[in-house]
Chain A
Amino acid sequence: MERAEVLKGCGGRVPAGATAPEFLYVGGEFCERLLPPPACLRRLKEAFPRSKLVLLTPVLSQPALESLLATLKAGAREGLPQEVCVNDPGLFRALLARGGGPRLSVGRLLAGALGVSMQHGQVRRDLLSPRVAGIEADSLETLSFLTGALRRKVHLRAPFSYLGHTRNCRFRAAGRCARQCLAGHLRLRSGIVGEMFLAGNAYLRDNAEEAARITEQVRVKRLVLERGPAKAPAGRPRPQ
């Protein structure tokens, strides 16, 4: 199983004690303001020469799409990033159609938006392309969208699954982002799901139990770990 770590924003660091992971995710799946400039990718590559750099991307407004395509163009000469984790349908199409360039993986938002349509037709054929390294799943439900050969491409997200995200972020005011956005996960209590977390502009929940069950059901291709302050209650299984 491949191992990956998600860095928060561009200034984030791999937690002390962790060895450089095989794959290092940088950027943001929920917010286009967290997309790193080319210089940041270069800096990370120097800091973690052995890790493959994966650029994590969100749903993209037109200005963000254009600036991201420019970043990818600038990085192409140096082979950076090595993979793009895509959550925007248009970006996925554009990069897949282009041929060459970084490998792609389907982020959990895009996987959710494609849902059961991934089971057949052109949607499936696109995903079976060798350019597509993997498809993210973070719950038993999202796993159920994947069938047959696509089950050999599971990138498991842990220890949080996605609940929702907003473009009306509480950490943004008067055109500026507060630093707490990247500070970690705020613990919330919901009448609907019990404990959940606010991470920047996204609502997440602990998926330790589901992640363990997913590893029982499929041979996970890549485990993508996100560090957060969340600690699973004692005795609950966690994927190792």
Chain B
Amino acid sequence: MKIICGVNGLSEAGRLAPYADELYFGVSFVENHRKWYPWQNLRTLGEAAELVSLAHGAGRKVLFAANELYPRASFSRDMRNIEKVLALGPDGVIARDMNLLGRLKRNGYGGEVCLSSTAICFNSETLDLFSGLGVSSVVLPQHLKAAEWRRVLRRRPGTRFEVFFYPDCYCPNMDGLCVYHDVNRTPEPRNCWKPYFLGGKKEFMRKPPIRERYLEFYRMARLGAERVKIARDAGVGERIRTAVFVRELADRIKKGTGASEFLRSVELDIWNGRKS
């Protein structure tokens, strides 16, 4: 399993490259699901060009995130900007907008087209819809269970897919469909992690327990997940620590470690303070 790591700025790319197999980035002039996190984007086309050559120089693949929905009013401009970035030669694009995907296909775009998790691809019909638009790999939505995805793979064997590292990256609500997340237009939306009150009692929106999230990661790896994504949210040091840790987990799984042994090893890691 390969590790793909989000890059927030040119300066951190060199630090991340030794720990990740692949990198991905967004740019400030193309919306990319980071509307409220401007610092998670490269600022200029020049920076994007430098990042692409830096990644390729280090022997790393690099993907460009254009994973928003683009309105009619700005579509031509958005498309021009996206094509400018693609002309720099990244290895692929992460997207969800069907109009954008259709346009890339018509233009004969030859790189990897990776479907964003926000496209809510839960079944073979949705997979077919997006494959028809040129999608060649899929980032699985966080709420899709391995047992359910197995049923899709049975129908569409060989589908290339990627997962988030669920122990760190899991929204209590369905990603791609969550209004609450940034309903208040806050610059650092974490609404779904904040408590609410039910009859005066403080509660939190539910996630599966951490054990279960490690297990789901394990099961997805076993199903043949090609990549695991370390998102752009954490600081660069944290992303490097996570990448090192995830690499070890992936190696354990590859060696054929059983599920319960895998969980025990993770518990030990947590006990030793390697992971919260």
Mark A residues whose CB is within 8 Å of B.
59-65, 88-91, 93-94, 109, 112-117, 119-123, 147, 161-170, 186-193, 196, 198, 203
Report whether B129 and A93 are in contact in the complex, using a CB–CB cutoff of 8 Å. Answer: yes
A61–B125 Cα distance when bound, in Å, is 10
A75–B192 Cα distance when bound, in Å, is 39
Find B125's partner among A65, A109, A164 (CB 8 Å cutoff).
A65
> In whole Å, how far is A187's beta carbon from the nearest beta carbon of chain B?
8
Report whether A192 and B180 are in contact in the complex, using a CB–CB cutoff of 8 Å. Answer: yes
Contacts of A109 in B (CB 8 A): 177
Contacts of B145 in A (CB 8 A): 61, 167
Report whether A89 and B99 are in contact in the complex, using a CB–CB cutoff of 8 Å. Answer: no
Q: Interface 1/0s, chain B 59-94, versus A by CB < 8 A?
A: 000000000011111010000000000000000000
Report whether B151 and A62 are in contact in the complex, using a CB–CB cutoff of 8 Å. Answer: yes
Report whether B72 and A89 are in contact in the complex, using a CB–CB cutoff of 8 Å. Answer: no
A62–B122 Cα distance when bound, in Å, is 7
Closest to A167 in B: B143
Report whether B174 and A164 are in contact in the complex, using a CB–CB cutoff of 8 Å. Answer: yes
Report whether B72 and A196 are in contact in the complex, using a CB–CB cutoff of 8 Å. Answer: no
Contacts of A198 in B (CB 8 A): 198
A109–B145 Cα distance when bound, in Å, is 20
Taking the complex as formed, is B127 at the interface, i.e. its CB lies under 8 A from any CB of chain A? yes
Report whether B179 and A61 are in contact in the complex, using a CB–CB cutoff of 8 Å. Answer: no
Taking the complex as formed, is B111 at the interface, i.e. its CB lies under 8 A from any CB of chain A? no
The interface on chain B, measured as residues whose beta carbon lies within 8 A of the other chain's beta carbons, has a size of: 54
Q: Which parts of B105-154 form the interface with A (CB within 8 Å)?
A: 118-129, 143-145, 148-149, 151-152
Report whether A191 and B194 are in contact in the complex, using a CB–CB cutoff of 8 Å. Answer: yes
Contacts of B198 in A (CB 8 A): 186-189, 198
Closest to B152 in A: A62
Report whether B196 and A61 are in contact in the complex, using a CB–CB cutoff of 8 Å. Answer: no
Contacts of B148 in A (CB 8 A): 61-63
A93–B127 Cα distance when bound, in Å, is 11
Closest to B31 in A: A116
A147–B73 Cα distance when bound, in Å, is 11
> In whole Å, how far is B24's beta carbon from the nearest beta carbon of chain A?
21
Report whether A121 and B197 are in contact in the complex, using a CB–CB cutoff of 8 Å. Answer: no
Taking the complex as formed, is B28 at the interface, i.e. its CB lies under 8 A from any CB of chain A? no
> In whole Å, how far is A130's beta carbon from the nearest beta carbon of chain B?
20
Report whether B129 and A165 are in contact in the complex, using a CB–CB cutoff of 8 Å. Answer: no
Taking the complex as formed, is B53 at the interface, i.e. its CB lies under 8 A from any CB of chain A? no
Closest to A64 in B: B123
Q: Interface 1/0s, chain B 161-190, versus A by CB < 8 A?
A: 000000000001110111111011000000
Report whether B122 and A60 are in contact in the complex, using a CB–CB cutoff of 8 Å. Answer: yes
Report whether B180 and A168 are in contact in the complex, using a CB–CB cutoff of 8 Å. Answer: no
> In whole Å, how far is A182's beta carbon from the nearest beta carbon of chain B?
18
Find A91's partner among B69, B125, B196, B205 (CB 8 Å cutoff).
B125
Report whether A164 and B122 are in contact in the complex, using a CB–CB cutoff of 8 Å. Answer: no
Contacts of B152 in A (CB 8 A): 62
A61–B122 Cα distance when bound, in Å, is 5
> In whole Å, how far is A23's beta carbon from the nearest beta carbon of chain B?
24
Contacts of A203 in B (CB 8 A): 173, 180, 205
Contacts of A169 in B (CB 8 A): 206
> In whole Å, how far is B36's beta carbon from the nearest beta carbon of chain A?
14
Closest to A122 in B: B102
Closest to B155 in A: A62
A164–B143 Cα distance when bound, in Å, is 13
Report whether A166 and B143 are in contact in the complex, using a CB–CB cutoff of 8 Å. Answer: yes
Contacts of B69 in A (CB 8 A): 114-117
Contacts of B176 in A (CB 8 A): 113
Given A89-B126, A90-B126, A122-B98, the answer on whether A59 and B72 have CB atoms closer than 8 Å is no
List 3 tightest A-B contacts by C-beta distance, closest first. Answer: A90-B125, A90-B126, A121-B99
Closest to B178 in A: A164
Closest to A32 in B: B122
Q: 25 pairs across A/B with beta carbons < 8 Å? A: A60-B122, A60-B123, A61-B122, A61-B123, A62-B122, A62-B123, A62-B148, A89-B119, A89-B126, A90-B126, A112-B179, A116-B69, A116-B71, A116-B72, A117-B70, A117-B71, A119-B73, A120-B75, A120-B99, A121-B103, A123-B99, A164-B180, A164-B205, A192-B184, A192-B194
